[in-house]
Amino acid sequence: MRTRQRKVGYIVVDTPVGRVTGFEDYASEWSLAVPEHGYGRVQFGEGSFAVLDAGEPARGELVRERNAFASNIQGPLLPLNPELIREILTGVAARRDIELDLTVGVGALDAYAAGARSAIETLVRGKGFHTIQL
């Protein structure tokens, strides 16, 4: 559903495969028909939907139904988050009975992504930067 409030700024989300970092810029709110499909809890930022976490109100981002993922995260999502890429590629490979070794030759790329995520987390934690006011 479209909303009047625009969510703009960095976002950090904890997921089962690790922390996902990026940028959010949208004016929508999701309602999940199946709350269990919510795949991550927002640590910094706004998120796309409301959830209950241990009975407490929280915000969520990323939805997963089997091997399909949905998210409003930009920034760019995949290059910043190699663990999420590995999760997606592992699911694709399993469907096709392909064996992948996703650990070979990725050290430099993982290091670049870690550096970018670290810089973003420094912004959202260290300087009080949470959202951009429009």
Flag whether pLDDT at 87 surpasses 60: yes
- 105 found inside a domain: yes
pLDDT at 106 (0 to 100): 87
Which of 55, 56, 71, 54 lies closest to 12, judged by CA? 71
Place 60 in a pLDDT band, splitting at 50, 70 and 90.
Answer: very high
- 106 found inside a domain: yes
Domain carrying residue 72 = 2-126
- 133 found inside a domain: no
pLDDT at 134 (0 to 100): 47
Number of structural domains, the chain? 1
Place 71 in a pLDDT band, splitting at 50, 70 and 90.
Answer: very high
54 vs 30, higher pLDDT: 30
- 39 found inside a domain: yes
- 22 found inside a domain: yes
d(CA 32, CA 13): 17
- 63 found inside a domain: yes
- 132 found inside a domain: no
**Residue 32 CA neighbour count, 13 Å, CB half:** 22
For residues 99-105, average pLDDT: 86
pLDDT at 28 (0 to 100): 87
- 97 found inside a domain: yes
Tokens of residue 118, six digits: 């670290």
**Cα distances (Å, whole numbers) of residue 64 to 40, 69, 124:** 9, 5, 26
The answer to pTM > 0.85 is no
Q: What is the mean pLDDT of the chain?
A: 86
